[in-house]
Amino acid sequence: MISAIVRTAITGLRRDRASLALSFVLPIAFFTIFAMVFSGQHDTIPQVKLIVVDQDHTLASRNLVRGLEREGSLAVSTRPESKDPKAPAPDYTAATAEAAVKAGNFPVALIIPAGWGQHPLAFNGSDGKAPEIQLLNDQSDTIAPQIVAGLLQKAAMTSMPASMAGEGEKYMKQYIGGLTPEQQKRWDANMAQLNAIEKRREDAQAAAGASVPDSSSSFNGMIKVETRGVAGEHKNKNLISFYAAAIGVMFLLFTASGSAGSLLEEQESGTLDRVLSSRVTMTTLLAGKLTFNTLLAFAQLTVMFLWGWAVFHLEISGHVSGFVVMGLCTAFAVAAFGIFLASMCHTRGQLGAVSTLLILVMSSVGGSMFPRFMMPEAMQKAGLFTINAWAIDGFQKVFWRDLPISQLWQQVSVLLGIGIVLFVLSRRIARRWEYS
């Protein structure tokens, strides 16, 4: 008897492809995504994009820059990319580097100030002898500045040994009163060797331009760094806007697909037939559903951000226009996505399974579950195919970076484009409902 019940259930499950997908495909997809993000089991190491501005132009600063360039975990840029290889762009300045971080193009920038090479080491904190390296960071990425700060110390200790030793000698003389003539002679001989090593490295680097990974041990705290957030600074609750957008978009997708599912309900009940036998055409009907779903999604986002403002002190007052622009574009794309899914599916149950599968995968890859900067580069690029990524980026520009509406053109264009393409596709697929 029990075996008959089990056999019936297995047959039912085998023929319900939607349930099968939810049972097996979704967990595997999620497992893979989380494993790729958190276990490092991927081919490409997530590199931190870093701008370095060398205002010092000494051997020590050049060696430090090269040391940073040798780090495989960093993608160092000293000048913006130029479309014309014959006319390279001018080097970053402190101002252009800060602007690039503010715009979200780079998470971190290092400014090596003029005069730093005279006293690169800072025992016992800053002794006021030399300016400190400035680390400008975007606070939406909490990991990148820590990686850069650590690798900066490592690069300093491994790429400029002569400078480090020279500085050490100065501090030794200051604190213990100098060396005997014999000790000084041996010290100078060693320094000559270290200088020769640095020189050879510089020459080899200039000749080959190759990056040689260095596996020397790190040594923290010798290089004094002043860290300054240039995006999202002075905001006590600045992660709230990220989560409002990230979680909001994910649930908007669920709501939109659920709401668009009314089309399938109406088709099953015969109401769709009756509506289409009246003066309402399929295009009018879909446009009406799209308008409703857009307004519903925008209302949801508004409620979410108002909750963030009321409970978590999210700053809305200065961002209303940006919110409206991003909110409407996101709502439009999400609504069209829902209608597209509904037009693709044949039953409400099928829509439920397909939408759950797609939305959860899109949300995880698109940054709704964890920030995209934590993902491998390939996955970050894959995220660009999701509504979530563009919507979250746009909201971050508004709430985090305080950028004007004109800076949202990329996100606005992509979201509107996604919405229009999906709506046109939905209209074509919906032909099957027009006539038997």
Binding footprint of other proteins on the chain (CB under 8 A): 269-271, 273-280, 435-436
Q: Which is nearer to other proteins, 200 or 432 (CB)?
A: 432
User: How far apart are the C-alpha atoms of 243 and 248, rounded to whole Å?
Assistant: 8
Query: If residue 32 lies in a helix (H) or strand (E), which one and from where to where?
Result: helix 26-38
In the complex with other proteins, the residue whose CB is nearer, 118 or 262, is: 262
Contact partners, residue 131, CB within 8 Å, separation at least 6: 113, 114, 115, 116
Nearer to other proteins, 15 or 279 (CB): 279
Residue (192 or 280) nearer to other proteins, CB: 280
95 neighbors 230 (Cβ within 8 angstroms):
no
- Residue 298 beta carbon to other proteins: minimum distance, rounded to whole angstroms: 22
Between 190 and 271, CB nearer to other proteins: 271
Nearest to other proteins of 317, 436 (CB atom): 436
| Backbone angle region of 344, left / alpha / beta, with phi > 0 → left and psi within -120 to 50 → alpha | alpha
> Which residues does 298 contact at the CB level (< 8 Å), separation at least 6?
327, 328, 331
Selection from 280, 261, 279, 259 nearest residue 269 by Cα:
261
Give the whole-angstrom CA distance, residue 162 versus residue 152. 17
In order of 121, 168, 170, the CA distances from 164 in angstroms are 7, 6, 10
